[in-house]
Amino acid sequence: MSASSRILLVTPNRLVGIGLKKLLLEYFSPLDVSIVADLGDVPELRSFDVAFLSSDSYVLYRDRFAAISTTPVILTEGAGVSESREVPLTVNVTGTESEIVEQVQRGLSAHRPGRGHSKAEHLSAREVGVLRLVARGYLNKQIADKLSISLHTVISHRKNITRKLGIKTVSGLTIYALLNGLVSSKDVG
């Protein structure tokens, strides 16, 4: 999984910066948020995933967004100020907290559509094989011998199983295997 998204807030109004940063961290953690007064102070704009900025600075620095994947989100005062096609993403700073949160969310997800935890993670056939043996009480070394794979590989399968299922202990994995018919209760000690 990649590190948390990097967010840039461009505003000379310190209070707006602090407020937006708090809101971002409260609703969308983990995020890495930086605040600057002027986009001219940011040499590496491309290293940010999303940049929030006023329409004035966007007009001034529009070209800098052309060749990079950083998503600009425009802070407007009042709804519907920036209706231009190329930049549909705006946050109306005079809106209610809920409105602002929803608009910010749209800005953040435009950068990474569909990314996150929604992807179903199924166990691979090999992982199921390892899990069956874990449930039947085999130790890692014995599993390696039985499946003719290295101990290292067994350990990495077990890590993946735990990550995918959210189950850490052998007893927990055994219950999972029983519930899903991977082993029968007479196989389990």
Partner 1 sequence: MKLLTADMKLAEIVHSNYLLIPVLNRFGIRLGFGEKTVRTVCSERRINLEFFLAIVNAFSNEDFFPEARLRTVNVLTIVDYLRTTHAYYIHAQIPRIERLLRSLARSKTRRTKGVVLAQRFFQEYKRELLAHLKREEEVTFPYVEQVYRLHRSRRSRGNKDLLARYSMRAYEEEHDNVDEKLDDLKNILIKYVSSGPDDDTLNTVIFELFRLERDIIDHTRIEDTILRPIVAEMEQAIQRTAR
List interacting residues with partner 1 (CB under 8 A): 165-169, 171-172, 175-176, 178-180
- Yes or no: say if 158 and 149 are a contact pair by the CB < 8 Å rule: no
94 vs 171, beta carbon nearer partner 1: 171
82 vs 162, beta carbon nearer partner 1: 162
CB of 185 to partner 1, least distance (A): 9
> Residue 34 and residue 26: Cα distance in Å, rounded?
15
Distances (CA, A) of 174 to 136, 171, 188: 8, 5, 8
33 vs 104, beta carbon nearer partner 1: 33
> Residue 21 and residue 62: Cα distance in Å, rounded?
23
CB of 19 to partner 1, least distance (A): 19
In the three-class reduction of DSSP (H, G, I as helix; E, B as strand; rest coil), residue 47 is classed as helix
> Residue 23 and residue 28: Cα distance in Å, rounded?
8
Per DSSP, 13 falls in state -
125 vs 179, beta carbon nearer partner 1: 179
Distances (CA, A) of 113 to 30, 48, 118, 121, 183: 17, 16, 11, 18, 38
CB of 167 to partner 1, least distance (A): 5
The amino acid occupying position 96 is: T
147 vs 178, beta carbon nearer partner 1: 178
CB of 1 to partner 1, least distance (A): 19
CB of 162 to partner 1, least distance (A): 10
Distances (CA, A) of 85 to 80, 82, 174: 12, 9, 55
